[in-house]
Amino acid sequence: MSGAAASAERSADVLRLLGRVEFARARWIHALLFPDRNPTTAWRILRALHAAQLIWTASAPAERVPGTIRARNRQAPPRAPTIYGLTPEGRDALAALGMEGDRRSVPAMPVRAWAEPDLKLAQLRHDLLVSDWCCALLNGARRHLHLHSVGCQVEYISATSATGQAIQRIDALVQLTFALVPVAPRPLWMLASADGTAPPAGAITCRLAAEIDTGSEKLAILLSKAGTYRALTHSGHYTATLGGPVLPVVLVPPGTKRAAQIAREWRDGWPGGAGLISSFAQAQVAGDAIRGRYLVMASNPAQPAFLLEPFGITRDAWDTAIAHQRHQGAADRISRDAP
């Protein structure tokens, strides 16, 4: 593959990532899409996309960006964190490429104006926590040889009323589909997207519904959310619209009583129902949200759980598959198609 073709392919994946997670920090773009390249390569492609007005960029206040202020002395980094997002022109370019199998997903991708992205600072921390978790999920899932496809949509409206009002708005819906056998090799940096074809027979699709709680919502709202998940699950709504049930995953601030309070409300709203909970930090282990530390909300006292276990994938099976992939040298796929 020529250098120009490789750059074009990675540029397209930048657009696809930003369309899925709304906006992303530079560190995630580098980690997910340029793990085998010098940072200057990533910067060059990002600058070119920005010059073409396909993506927007903005410097975010450090206090609004998770993990950028040191806990001990509360010092901000010397440079304001940079975030990137998709413009309307970038979404049009992505649609023209025809790379997303579900064409309906492209119009739903959130965009902002190139010159003035109009970031809502009051909401920015919440939205970046959503983006971070989605990116960390992709970072963990892509290492599995059986990964068939991924889907990700922020601000997913699951159900609407007869008047078109949203009955349920999920912070992010992430779908990971795993085949029973290894799929065709792809470079590690290449996002595994649904190509429009049906998953192979016996494939497992893990449908994860992220709910980010920054401590500002009343607990009664969490009780209502649990009741909505319960009603839509029991009515078969998720199976009818998505092909199967979803697993709510609630992320909360660390070091507070918030997790216990939410779990109690959740048990009241959906006794014995599905749902995991974790803190923002514990939900990731070395940038991998699949191997994060989660607790079952229906259990009292709280019991630990592997994120994908509700779908029949145990931690032991996952770790064995990842270790086997590493043993087989599958990490070499990172640069197989690189120039």
**Alpha-helical segments (H) within the chain:** 3-21, 26-33, 39-51, 88-97, 121-141, 219-234, 237-242, 258-269, 315-327
CA distances from 23 to 90, 110, 143, 235 (A): 13, 9, 23, 33
- Give which of 252, 253, 280 is closest to 266, Cα–Cα: 252
Query: Which band of pLDDT confidence, cut at 50, 70 and 90, is reported for residue 248?
Result: very high
Q: How high is the pLDDT of residue 181?
A: 84
- Give which of 126, 121, 131, 129 is closest to 85, Cα–Cα: 131
- Give which of 46, 38, 43 is closest to 11, Cα–Cα: 46
Q: How high is the pLDDT of residue 39?
A: 87
Q: How high is the pLDDT of residue 322?
A: 84
Distance CA 215, CA 233 (A): 26
Give pLDDT tens digits for 77-122. Answer: 545 678 999 999 999 998 888 765 445 578 888 999 999 898 888 8
Q: 50: alpha, beta or left, given left = phi > 0 and alpha = psi -120 to 50?
A: alpha
Say which residues have a Cβ less than 8 Å from residue 188's Cβ, sequence separation at least 6.
35, 36, 142, 143, 331, 333, 334
pLDDT of 31 above 80: yes
CA dihedral of 29, 122, 269, 304, whole degrees rounded to 10: 40
Cis peptide before 117 (omega within 30 of 0): no
CB atoms within 10 A of CB 182: 15
Q: How high is the pLDDT of residue 194?
A: 55
Residue labelled with tokens 């959906």: 270
Query: Which band of pLDDT confidence, cut at 50, 70 and 90, is reported for residue 326?
Result: low
Range of lowest pLDDT (7-11, 64-68, 219-223, 259-263): 64-68
What are the DSSP E strand ranges found in 195-246? Answer: 204-212
pTM for this model (two decimals): 0.88
Query: Which band of pLDDT confidence, cut at 50, 70 and 90, is reported for residue 71?
Result: very low
Domain ranges of the chain: 3-71+82-335
Given a contact cutoff of 8 angstroms between Cβ atoms, the answer to whether 94 and 19 are in contact is yes
Q: What burial letters (b/e) apply to 285-302, b meaning 16+ CB within 10 Å?
A: eeebbbbbbbbbbbeeee
Q: At what angle do helices 3-21 and 88-97 cross, to 10 degrees?
A: 120
Given a contact cutoff of 8 angstroms between Cβ atoms, the answer to whether 25 and 83 are in contact is yes
Q: How high is the pLDDT of residue 4?
A: 64
Q: What percent of the chain has pLDDT over 70?
A: 84
pLDDT of 63 above 80: no
Q: What burial letters (b/e) apply to 188-205, b meaning 16+ CB within 10 Å?
A: bbbbbbbeeeeeeeebbb
Q: How many residues does the chain have?
A: 339
Distance CA 318, CA 12 (A): 30
Given a contact cutoff of 8 angstroms between Cβ atoms, the answer to whether 318 and 312 are in contact is no
Q: How high is the pLDDT of residue 82?
A: 87
Given a contact cutoff of 8 angstroms between Cβ atoms, the answer to whether 279 and 250 are in contact is no
- Beta partners for residue 288, in sequence order: 285
Q: How many CA atoms lie less than 13 Å away from 22 in the CB half-sphere?
A: 21
CB atoms within 10 A of CB 245: 18
Task: State how beta strands 294-296 and 276-279 pair.
Answer: antiparallel
Q: How far apart are the first and last CA of the chain?
A: 6
Residue labelled with tokens 């709680």: 213
CB atoms within 10 A of CB 271: 10
Q: How high is the pLDDT of residue 186?
A: 73
The residue ranking higher by pLDDT, 328 or 181, is 181
Given a contact cutoff of 8 angstroms between Cβ atoms, the answer to whether 223 and 269 are in contact is yes
